[in-house]
Amino acid sequence: MKILLNNIDLNEALFDNSNIGFVPTMGSLHDGHVSLIKKSLKLSNKTIVSIFVNPKQFNNKEDYKKYPRNIKKDLKILEKLKVDFVYLPKIKDIYKGKNKIKIKLNKQDKILCAKHRKGHFEGVIDVMTRLTKIVNPSKIFMGEKDLQQLLLVKRFVEKDFKSKIIYCKTIRDRNKLALSSRNMLLNKNSLNKAGKIAKSLIIFKKKLSNNKNLKDLIFIKKNELKKKYDIKIDYLELRNTENLKLTNKIKNAKIFIAYYINKVRLIDNF
Amino acid sequence: MKILLNNIDLNEALFDNSNIGFVPTMGSLHDGHVSLIKKSLKLSNKTIVSIFVNPKQFNNKEDYKKYPRNIKKDLKILEKLKVDFVYLPKIKDIYKGKNKIKIKLNKQDKILCAKHRKGHFEGVIDVMTRLTKIVNPSKIFMGEKDLQQLLLVKRFVEKDFKSKIIYCKTIRDRNKLALSSRNMLLNKNSLNKAGKIAKSLIIFKKKLSNNKNLKDLIFIKKNELKKKYDIKIDYLELRNTENLKLTNKIKNAKIFIAYYINKVRLIDNF
């Protein structure tokens, strides 16, 4: 029994009681999602997971169509985790006529995936704004694999809502490949390659800490990966983890990569 | 796990989750309060009990001062019942400078206790409006012993808030005296008398159902009680239970009484 001695106590107790943790997903859940959900279950009174493949964030129609969907398996996973609520909105639940949101990225935001997937983050921020308004959570759990997405959503959502974005570590399979729903689109051979690329970059990153010609080394590495694994690389860059600016310093920096393997676009950071 | 297929589902699940049951009291809890609280615990996700001796509803300063207060015992009772929250506001928590509420009763409301305790219900409605605004409950549990209060609060609160007033049966001791915090102000002799008055009215009411000169019978009963128990009677009237209008019909009617015994004012209805 909680004793509330004044209105501040009361507001905290009664309305923090709606301490809702929110895990927005596009379904095809994997252990990366599971780790977000477990964190939410731990930190929130109620956890709500949404599954919504948001058409507006796909700059490519084909990509939207082929995005993996496994709702039955997803529900089994969520049931087992004892999630409180699963939210399966229709497109009209999210995009009701009235509120048109116009998202404008700054010039300095148009880097990494923002440069290579036109309109993608505008779509992500739009849907995240709408979802946050609808769900009104205390906390939103997002994975660090999509660090650029996380930072942008954090900036836009925390500006307008009380919801806090909670960072969650990237989960990797035993080959060190970062978990992603898109991995399901890869055959064994490509999965194998992607794992090797991840491992190679982990080793590369470790070496970097004792080296100085960073820009050159990264350029060489990029060409090496391209040739060795026959992949198209959108970017391989060292950037500051807070403002995502290009940097020559190892401290607070990560290597960001986006590449196509077998027509599937994967991203990661180390 | 609840699956929410659209925004209506979502709103019901997440925000009905704050299905809060509210039992407003002035403390000195007895089994009447306990029955309200048990009903709230049964019907609500969270139960909040307030203890606030509201100065504004006492038309008599002396009455306010001598109103019984037993906060330690109250907290023990609430703890045992596993109430979620006890709200113990200070006067300033309720009456913050800004919102002045002007409650105006209709002419036809100025009957029964409204006639005999000037300003009393205005104070009750005022504090209930403020408490409802602060607590924002789904349900407010009130006892039928104070039926006039219940009906007035219902009208005023349900007009402005989503909260529903829930009627709860009057609880009586083994002598049939309706439980009231004011009973604590009575000595054994007066308690005994009050029990006899209640029993006498229960029998009287049963006889009434087969009789026709209702007005006369009630007038005679009033005088009988006055003389027999040496009490001052504010009113003894048969009224409709929905609109509280004087009636000559037994159907949907109750006998309402207010009287002073040993300077303590008791009310009841049968």
**ipTM rounded to 2 decimals:** 0.74
Judged by CB atoms closer than 8 Å, whether chains meet at B93 and A7 is answered as yes
pLDDT in tens, A203-222: 999 888 756 788 899 999 99
Judged by CB atoms closer than 8 Å, whether chains meet at A4 and B88 is answered as yes
Residue B185 distance to chain A (closest CA, Å): 27
What is the residue type of B19? N
CATH number of B7-168: 3.40.50.620
Cβ-based contacts of A6 with chain B (< 8 Å) = 89-90, 93
pLDDT score recorded for residue B5: 81
Of B6, B15, B85, Cβ closest to residue A90: B6
How many Å apart are CA B228 and CA A190, to the nearest integer? 99
Comparing A7-168 with A181-269, is the CATH topology the same? no
**Where residue A1 falls among pLDDT bands split at 50, 70, 90?**
confident
Share of chain A above pLDDT 90, in %: 73
Residues in chain B: 270
pLDDT score recorded for residue B27: 95
Residues of chain B falling short of pLDDT 50: none
What is the residue type of A238? L
For the entire predicted model, the pTM comes to: 0.60
**Mutual angle of helices A214-229 and A188-208, in 10-degree steps:** 160
How many Å apart are CA B32 and CA B43, to the nearest integer? 17
**Where residue A93 falls among pLDDT bands split at 50, 70, 90?**
confident
Please enumerate, as own/partner, the contacts of B77-82 that have beta carbons within 8 Å and a separation of 24 or more: B77/B29, B77/B33, B77/B34, B78/A1, B78/B29, B78/B37, B78/B49, B79/A1, B81/B34, B81/B37, B81/B38, B81/B41, B82/A1, B82/B41
Best mutation target, B5, B10, B46, B51, to test chain A (most A CBs within 10 A): B10
The CA-atom distances, in angstroms, between A137 and each of A36, A158, A163, B50 are: 15, 11, 6, 28
Stated as kind and residue range, the H or E segment containing B239 is strand B232-240
Copy the structure tokens of residue B91.
Answer: 């006067």
How many Å apart are CA B43 and CA B29, to the nearest integer? 20
**Mutual angle of helices A120-135 and A147-160, in 10-degree steps:** 50
Nearest alpha-carbon partner for A251 in A262, A265, A241, A263: A241
**Catalytic amino acids of A?**
33
Nearest alpha-carbon partner for A25 in A47, A51, A58: A51
Share of chain A above pLDDT 70, in %: 96
Neighbour count for residue B168 (Cβ, 10 Å): 21
pLDDT score recorded for residue B210: 59
How many Å apart are CA A216 and CA B16, to the nearest integer? 58
Of A79, A89, A134, Cβ closest to residue B1: A79
**Mutual angle of helices A31-43 and A71-81, in 10-degree steps:** 40
Segments making up each domain of chain B, as ranges: 7-168, 181-269
Compute the average pLDDT of residues A119-140. 93
Cβ-based contacts of A88 with chain B (< 8 Å) = 3-5
pLDDT score recorded for residue A49: 95
Residue A208 distance to chain B (closest CA, Å): 47
A10 contacts B87 by C-beta, under 8 angstroms: yes
How many Å apart are CA B64 and CA B60, to the nearest integer? 7
Task: Identify the three-state secondary structure at position A208.
Answer: helix
Residue A71 distance to chain B (closest CA, Å): 12
Angle, CA of A88, A92 and A96, to the nearest 5°: 125
Question: Is 90 exceeded by the pLDDT of residue A101?
Answer: no
Task: Identify the three-state secondary structure at position A82.
Answer: coil
**Where residue A11 falls among pLDDT bands split at 50, 70, 90?**
confident
Judged by CB atoms closer than 8 Å, whether chains meet at A20 and B14 is answered as yes
How many Å apart are CA A105 and CA A122, to the nearest integer? 7
Look up B116 and say whether it is catalytic: no
Copy the structure tokens of residue B193.
Answer: 């008398």
Copy the structure tokens of residue A75.
Answer: 């529900």
Angle, CA of A159, A54 and A270, to the nearest 5°: 70
Of A4, A90, A135, Cβ closest to residue B87: A4
pLDDT score recorded for residue A194: 97
Of A2, A14, A93, Cβ closest to residue B20: A14
Give the number of C-alpha atoms closer than 13 A to the C-alpha of residue B57, restricted to the C-beta side.
20
Strands B85-87 and B46-51, sheet pairing = parallel
User: Is the CATH code 3.40.50.620 the one for domain A181-269?
Assistant: no
pLDDT score recorded for residue A78: 96
Judged by CB atoms closer than 8 Å, whether chains meet at B20 and A6 is answered as no
Q: What residue has token string 């639940």?
A: A93
B82: closest chain A residue by CA: A1
Cβ-based contacts of A89 with chain B (< 8 Å) = 6-7, 10
How many Å apart are CA A86 and CA A78, to the nearest integer? 8
Residue B48 or A12, more confident: B48
Question: Is 90 exceeded by the pLDDT of residue A167?
Answer: yes
Compute the average pLDDT of residues A183-207. 95
Residue B13 distance to chain A (closest CA, Å): 8
Interface of B with A (CB under 8 A): 1-7, 10, 13-15, 17-18, 20, 46, 48, 75, 78-79, 82-90, 93, 134-136
pLDDT score recorded for residue A203: 94
Cβ-based contacts of A14 with chain B (< 8 Å) = 18, 20, 46, 48, 85, 135-136
